[in-house]
Structure 1
Amino acid sequence: MDHIKLIILETSDLHGAILPIQYSSNTPANIGLAKLASYMKKIRSENEHVLVIDNGDFMQGTPLASYYFRMLRQKVHPMIIGMNKLQYDAAVLGNHEFNYGLDTLTKVAADATFPFLSCNILSGETGKPFFGTPYVIKTFSSGIKAAVLGVTTHYIPNWEKPSHIEGLIFEDAVTATSNWVKHIREVEQPDIMIVSYHGGFEVDLATGKRIEPFEKGENQAYRLCMEVEGIDVLLTGHQHRQEQQIINGVAVVQPGYKGQAIGQVTAEFVKENQQYKLQQTFPETIQTVDLTADQSLMNLIEPYEQGTQKWLDEVLGTVEGDMRIHDPFQARLAEHPMIELIHKVQMDAAHVDISSTALFHNDSPGLPSHITMRSIVSNYIYPNSLMVIEVTGEDIKQALERSASYFTLIGDEPAVSADFSRPKPQHYNYDMWEGIEYTIDLRRSPGNRIIQAMYQGEPLNTHQRYKVVMNNYRAGGGGDYLMFKGKKVIKEIQTDMTELLAAYIRKRRTIKAEVNNNWNVIIPSV
C-alpha cells in the first residue's frame, strides 16, 4: 500500500510586502515574501508533491508597491517578479487587486506565469469568470490529481470605485463555490478539492458565535465549510488573522498578512486498487520570525527598491511643533494635529468646508520634524482619491453615531469596541470630522452618543444638504457607512491622496502642528 504526501502552501494578504523591512523606519521586520521564499524552496527540495497558492491582496500596500504604480507601471510588478520566480501555481483575486482599475489588473495578470482565479467575479458581457477558467488542475507524476478553485468575497462593490469594476458581476461566494465544486468533482474527478477563498470567517471559531451579520456576506468561510459538499481544504484570508484547524472535516488555514506566516496543509494519501484516496489533512501556520530572507529574490527586486528609497527620502517640508503620534488610541479620543492636517488638505483640494477622515492604522507614526514621502506613505497607506458628496444633516448624524460606536467602556475607561476589532481590526472605520462641532458622550449607549452637532454655530438641520469631502472608499459606503452609498457626487478629485498631501506640504514648506478642538469625547472617568 503506497502512502504519498502533498504539501499545500498558502500566502495571503501580502499587500506588496517583499522585503523584511518596516519602511517607516527602514528597520528589519519579520515580514515579506523574501522570508517565505526560503521556506518554499526548502519544502520544494524535500517534497515531490507541492502546490503554492496566493490567496489575494498582494498588489498594493507598501511604498515599494506605491512607487511601482506611480513610476513603473510599464514594467513587471515586483510582486509578480517574485511570485514568478517562486513558481506559484495560481493566485486568487483579492478585493485590493481592483484598486488601480481593470487595465492595470489585466496587465499585471498578463505578466504572471500562473493563472489568476475567481469563480464568482464574472464578465457582465459573457456571464463567465472574468479571467477565464476559475480553477486549475495539477496532476503530479504519481498520478495524484489536485483541483484548486478560486473564490473572492463578493462584497467588493461596497468598497471599490465603480469605474474600477465596471462591467463586472460579483456572484454570491457560497452559491458560486457550491456550483463549481460540484462541477469539478463530477467532470475532473480530483483526488483532493482545494478552495482558495479571499474572505474570512463570519463566526468566532472558538465559540461558534456570529460576529458578522448574515446578510452582509463579506466573510463566508464558515458557511463554505458547513454548507458546500466536497471541499477538502479551504485556504482563507482577508481578515489578517492566523487560523489553523479542521471545521466539519475541512482543513482550514489563514496566514495573517504581509508575510507574517505561511499557511500549510499537509494532505496524506493512500493508494488502494490503483486509486489514491485522501486519508487525512493537517493544517498549520509557519511563522516568518524563524526564517532567513532569500537573497536571490531580494536581488531581483533591488532596482525597484533603490528607486523606492530615493523617492521616500525626498524632503518636502518641516513641522513646527509636534505632529508625531505617540498613542494611536489617544489620537482618536482627542483631536490630533496629524488628522487636522489631512482635513486641511482634503478641504483645500475639494474647496468645501466639511471633511471626514480616519487614522488608518495603529502603526501610523505621524509626521517628524522633517517631512519626507516616507513620512506620508507611512501614515496614509491606501491608494485613495477624494470625492465630494451631498448628504443631509441626518446622514451626518448617523455617520457620527457609527463612528462613536468605535468606543466601548471597560469599567469607566474607554477602549475599542469588539465590532471594530473583530473579525479583524478596523481602526480605519472610525472617522473624525472637521467643519462641524460635535460631542461624543460615552456615558450613553451606542447609537445615542452624539449630544451636540453644529455647523457654523447652528444645529445640523436634519433635511438640509451639506457638501462633504471624504475618501472614495467611505463615499461609496465602505465600512458600513451605508448612509453615504448612492449619494449625489458633486466632485471627484482623481489625484491620489498621498500626492495631494505632498503637494500641500511642498507649497507651504512649514506646517504647524495645531488643532481647533471642534470635537470632544466625554468619558465617565473625566
Structure 2
Amino acid sequence: MTQGLIDIHIIATNDIHGALFPSENDAGIMKAATYVKMVRRASEHLLLIDNGNALSGSVSTYFFSHSKNNFRNPMITLMNKMNYDASGISPNEFRYGLSYFNKAQAMADFPFLSANILHSRTKEPYFNSPYIIKTFNGMKIGIIGITSRGLMAKETVETVGEFAVEETVRAAKRWIRHMHDKESPDFVIALYHGGLNELVRNTDYKELTSNEAEAIIQASEGIDVMITGHQKKTLNKMIDDTLFIQAGSNMSHLCHIQLQFKGRTNTFELVNSQSELIDMTAYQEDEQLKDEVYFEEKEFRQWLKSKAGVVNDDFRLEHYEDFLAPHPFKTLLHDLLKNCTAEITCCHIPHMKAQGLSGMVTQHDLYNSYISIDHPVQLLLTGKQIHRIMERSAAALYEENGIHIRQEMLDPTVITDWRGFDYSLDLDQPIGRRVKMTLEPAAEYIIGTTDYIYRQYSDLIADGQLLKVHNRHMIELLEERLKSTLYLA
C-alpha cells in the first residue's frame, strides 16, 4: 500500500444460477475462485460479495435439493472456502422452498442481506440486519441488500404467510439513511437483485417494481456502487455519481472494482477508482476448490446417468414453439395436472430449453424435459378471470406458417394452453378480442395449473383464490408417470 493510501479491491458475482461443476456452463464458480485467489495474493484488502441467485437454476442444485437435502449444500461449501463476505437475496433462492434456503443460510459463514424481505407478522427484516460494515484500516464500507419487490411477487408462493415484501424504494431509502446515521460509512455498496428500467424500456418486460435501480438512486443519498442482477446482461457505467455494474449470468463474467482512498483528519477521500468486467472463460477451475466437493460431484455424475425409465412414444420438443401445436408432451402435462383433482387444466411451456422425452430416459433427460421447479396448484377462478388470462396469453401470438410468439411482448413460458372446455383463438382479431369460450363469466371453476402461472398472472387472481399447493413438483410427477405402465415400454 502506498504511504497514506488504502487500496481496496471489490469482486462481485451475480446470478451464478447454481453453476457448481465444470460443464454446467462455460465458466462456473470454480473459475471465479481462480481469479479471486489471484487478486488476494496481490492485495491485502479484498471484499468478495454476491448479488443473489446462486442456490438454484442448475441440474446439480436440483439434485442436491431433491435427493440430498439433508446433506451440506455444495454451493455454500464453495462460497465459504472462497471467503465471501456477504450475499444479496434473489427470489430464486426460495425456488426449492424456504427450508432449503434456511439450511443453506445456516451453513454460510457470511450473511444474506435484504432490507425489504420482512416477517409477515412483525414487519422486521426477516434475515437479521439488512446491511453490514466492513472496515479496512479504519475506512468503513457499508453493504446493503435490496430485493426486487416485483420479482418477489412472482416467486413467493412457497413463502406465502412467512414474508411481507416492502416497497423496494421506500425500504432502501429508510435503511440507507439509518446506516449513514448510525455507522457513518465512507463508501456504500447496494446489492440490488433487480435491474435497470432503461434496459427494458422498449418491451413489455418493463416493470417498474422489478427494475427500480434508477428509482432507488434518485430516492436515496449516498450510494456509491449499485450492483444489479437478474437481467442476464453485462453493464458497467456511471450514472451521475453512482457506478452501476452487473456481471451477466451463469458466471460468464465477474465484476472487479478497484478503489483507492486517502486518509484525511476524520474521513477518507476516494482519489481513484476503476471497474471492469472479467471474462471467466479465460480461466481454469481452481483444483483445490474442486477437491472440496469431489465426492459430491462423483455422486451427482452417477445420478445424472442413472435410468429413470423408457418412454414408449415420442414426446420430444425440438423447439419451444412445438408446444403451441397439438403435441403429446403437452397432453401428458395436462394429464398430470388433471390427476391433481381438477377438471379444467392449464399448462404452459415448461422452459425455453425444455426438450420433452423420448426412448430411454436418464435422470438428466428427465430434468431437461421440464427444467423449472413448478408445483401444481388448485385455483378457484371465474369464467371472466380465465378469459382475461387467455386474452393476455393470446396477445403475444401471431400466425405465420404456424403459430409463433412475440417474445418482446410476453415471456414464452407464460403462454397458456387449456383443457376441459371448448374455446377457439382467432389471431386475426384485435388484441383483447381473440378468445371465444364456452365458460360462463360469473361462474366459478376449479382450475389445475402450476404455481408459476399463478404467480405470473397474480394481478388477475386474488390470494384467496389459491386453494391448494401440491408438495411435489412437476419433474417428480413426470418421474412417477415414467414408472407407470401408461408411458413405459
> TM-score, normalization: structure 1?
0.85
Deviations 1:31-89 (A, max 9, x none): 32112211121222222222111111222222221222223222221110010000000
Name 2:62's counterpart in structure 1. 66
Residue 434 (structure 2) aligned to one of 449, 457, 479: 449
* Shift in CA distance, 383/417, structure 1 to aligned 2, threshold 3 Å: closer
Residue 171 (structure 1) aligned to one of 144, 166, 169: 166
Question: Aligned-pair distance for 1:126?
Answer: 4.0
CA distance in 2, matches of 1:433, 1:209: 26
State whether residues 204 and 211 of structure 1, in contact with CA within 8 Å, keep that contact through their aligned partners in structure 2: no
Name 1:335's counterpart in structure 2. 326
State whether residues 344 and 419 of structure 2, in contact with CA within 8 Å, keep that contact through their aligned partners in structure 1: yes
Q: Letter of the 2:333 partner, please give it.
A: I
In structure 2, runs of 5+ residues without a counterpart are none
Deviations 1:389-415 (A, max 9, x none): 121222111111121223368999955
The reply on whether 1:375 has 2:371 as its aligned counterpart is no
**DSSP 3-state at the match of 2:134:** strand
Name which of structure 1's ranges 389-398 and 308-317 shifts more when overlaid on structure 2: 308-317
State whether residues 407 and 417 of structure 1, in contact with CA within 8 Å, keep that contact through their aligned partners in structure 2: no
Question: Aligned-pair distance for 1:442?
Answer: 3.2
In structure 1, runs of 5+ residues without a counterpart are 23-28, 421-425, 454-458, 513-526
CA distance in 2, matches of 1:208, 1:7: 35
Q: Letter of the 2:55 partner, please give it.
A: M
CA distance in 1, matches of 2:367, 2:402: 36
Which residues in structure 2 correspond to 1:122-137 (within 5 Å)? 122-137=118-133
Residue 225 (structure 1) aligned to one of 205, 217, 227: 217
Deviations 1:470-492 (A, max 9, x none): 112323xx124422332534444
Name 1:474's counterpart in structure 2. 453
Deviations 1:318-353 (A, max 9, x none): 33443222222x3244233322222222222x1333
Residue 241 (structure 1) aligned to one of 210, 214, 233: 233
Which residues in structure 2 correspond to 1:105-504 (within 5 Å)? 105-141=101-137, 143-155=138-150, 158-160=153-155, 164-204=159-199, 212-214=206-208, 217-273=209-265, 275-328=267-320, 330-348=321-339, 350-407=340-397, 414-420=404-410, 426-450=411-435, 452-453=436-437, 459-475=438-454, 478-504=455-481
Deviations 1:180-235 (A, max 9, x none): 21222222222211010111122337x79996244xx1221121123321100001
CA distance in 1, matches of 2:469, 2:171: 34
Name 1:518's counterpart in structure 2. none
State whether residues 408 and 417 of structure 1, in contact with CA within 8 Å, keep that contact through their aligned partners in structure 2: no
Q: Letter of the 2:167 partner, please give it.
A: D
**DSSP 3-state at the match of 1:510:** coil
Q: Letter of the 1:432 partner, please give it.
A: D
State whether residues 375 and 450 of structure 2, in contact with CA within 8 Å, keep that contact through their aligned partners in structure 1: yes
Name 2:9's counterpart in structure 1. 7
Residue 95 (structure 2) aligned to one of 95, 99, 119: 99
**DSSP 3-state at the match of 2:337:** helix
Question: Aligned-pair distance for 1:160?
Answer: 4.2
CA distance in 2, matches of 1:276, 1:297: 36
Deviations 1:144-176 (A, max 9, x none): 321101111223663345562434321111111
* Shift in CA distance, 479/88, structure 1 to aligned 2, threshold 3 Å: same
State whether residues 91 and 152 of structure 2, in contact with CA within 8 Å, keep that contact through their aligned partners in structure 1: no
Name 1:16's counterpart in structure 2. 18
**DSSP 3-state at the match of 1:234:** strand
CA distance in 1, matches of 2:319, 2:149: 35
Q: Letter of the 1:189 partner, please give it.
A: S
Deviations 1:230-274 (A, max 9, x none): 100001112222222112221111122222221233333344457
Name 2:482's counterpart in structure 1. 505
* Shift in CA distance, 374/189, structure 1 to aligned 2, threshold 3 Å: same
* Shift in CA distance, 57/377, structure 1 to aligned 2, threshold 3 Å: same
How many residues matched? Answer: 487
State whether residues 64 and 304 of structure 1, in contact with CA within 8 Å, keep that contact through their aligned partners in structure 2: no
Deviations 1:475-517 (A, max 9, x none): 3xx12442233253444421122111100111126369xxxxx
Residue identity over aligned pairs, in percent, reads 28
CA distance in 1, matches of 2:309, 2:214: 49
CA distance in 1, matches of 2:348, 2:277: 32
State whether residues 351 and 372 of structure 2, in contact with CA within 8 Å, keep that contact through their aligned partners in structure 1: no
* Shift in CA distance, 489/300, structure 1 to aligned 2, threshold 3 Å: same
CA distance in 2, matches of 1:410, 1:137: 57
Question: Aligned-pair distance for 1:114?
Answer: 0.7
State whether residues 21 and 297 of structure 2, in contact with CA within 8 Å, keep that contact through their aligned partners in structure 1: no
* Shift in CA distance, 230/489, structure 1 to aligned 2, threshold 3 Å: closer
* Shift in CA distance, 244/443, structure 1 to aligned 2, threshold 3 Å: farther
**DSSP 3-state at the match of 1:7:** strand
Name 1:54's counterpart in structure 2. 50
State whether residues 474 and 484 of structure 1, in contact with CA within 8 Å, keep that contact through their aligned partners in structure 2: no
Q: What is the alpha-carbon root mean square deviation over aligned residues? A: 2.7
CA distance in 2, matches of 1:471, 1:258: 26
State whether residues 237 and 255 of structure 1, in contact with CA within 8 Å, keep that contact through their aligned partners in structure 2: yes
* Shift in CA distance, 210/382, structure 1 to aligned 2, threshold 3 Å: closer
Q: Letter of the 1:204 partner, please give it.
A: L
State whether residues 324 and 403 of structure 2, in contact with CA within 8 Å, keep that contact through their aligned partners in structure 1: no
CA distance in 2, matches of 1:211, 1:383: 22
State whether residues 225 and 247 of structure 1, in contact with CA within 8 Å, keep that contact through their aligned partners in structure 2: no
Q: Letter of the 1:469 partner, please give it.
A: G
CA distance in 1, matches of 2:45, 2:202: 34
CA distance in 1, matches of 2:370, 2:474: 8
